[in-house]
Structure 1
Amino acid sequence: MEQTRILAVLDRLAAAWERGDAAAYGREFTADASYVTYVGTVYRGRDDLAAGHAALFGKFLKGTRMFAEVVEVRLYDARTAVVVTRGDVGKKRPRRLSKVQTFTLVLEDDGEWRIAAFQNTKHHTLMEAVSFRMLPASAPR
């Protein structure tokens, strides 16, 4: 049940992105959320990330969609969950999803799950392959 509610947050997030609706996008985050983009930009708080995305949706990200595949969902207690996804954005789905995202969600006092922290990392497959070849023990199981 809770996993379904948690994944619904990500569905609403993607729908808001597709509409270019920065206010709706921001509502899926806690008021004090931290948001780190793959280029290293750090937004602090819902208002900051919504304002930044309003500008982005109006220019660089206009007409794009979010594409994601859930890697794992973990509930750590009744009020905390972490979701890891592979994803990307674009006007059409890329052949390979090039980023990895970590969402930390909390169940707030109003009974709604919201994202408290977000980290987006570019997946460097070549560097990863080189690292694993040079040091096989560093590869995940």
Structure 2
Amino acid sequence: MSATVSYADEAAIRDLYQRMLDSWGDAIAYAECFTPDADYIIANGMIERGWKEIVDGHEIIFTAWARNSRLIGQIESIRFLTNDVALLIAYGHIEYLDHRSSDGNKRTVYSLVAQRLADRWLFAAYQNTPLGGH
């Protein structure tokens, strides 16, 4: 069975992705882009499970190394696995707004699983991997 893809669904997922980028720096707004039980795998292999852990983890980084930064990203592909589940592959990096060096901030590729819940799309899973084998 192949998924029926609508322009509205793809647009809603692209809007969700942009909202995730735009909410960088606000742990609660960022976590609201995810399902309450989302699995969020960070580049170091740590797993944040669920909304509370995503908020707690991002509150720490937004006051530490990621303070005064923004998340830049671009979707490479969206593939609908079913009518209610889509896989995104995207590239991104953190840009520092206070001119700190970003040499240590490697660009990353990440995968996101979007899931339709009732009348909206949210991310149910995220995995972040630095490019270049780092």
Counterpart mapping for 1:102-121 below 5 A: 102-109=111-118, 111-121=119-129
Q: Percent identity?
A: 25
Structure with a larger share of its residues in strand? 2
What TM-score do the two structures reach when normalised by structure 1? 0.80
Equivalent of 2:75, from 44, 53, 70? 70
Q: Is 1:83 matched up with 2:123?
A: no
Aligned match of 2:63 in 26, 43, 58? Answer: 58
Mark the structure with the bigger radius of gyration: 1
2:37 & 2:10 partners in 1: Cα distance?
23
Report the residue type matching 1:3 in the other structure: E
1:6 aligns with 2:20: no
Structure number with greater CO (CA < 8 Å, separation at least 6) is 2
TM-score, length basis structure 2? 0.84
- Moved beyond 6 Å, runs of 4+: none
Q: Give, in whole Å, the separation in 1 of the partners of 2:28 and 2:108.
A: 24
The RMSD of aligned alpha carbons is: 2.0
Greater helix share, structure number: 1
CA distance in 2, matches of 1:118, 1:76: 16
Matched pairs, number: 122
Residue ranges of structure 2 left out of the alignment (5+ in a row) = 1-7
C-alpha distance in structure 2 between counterparts of 1:107 and 1:30, whole Å: 10
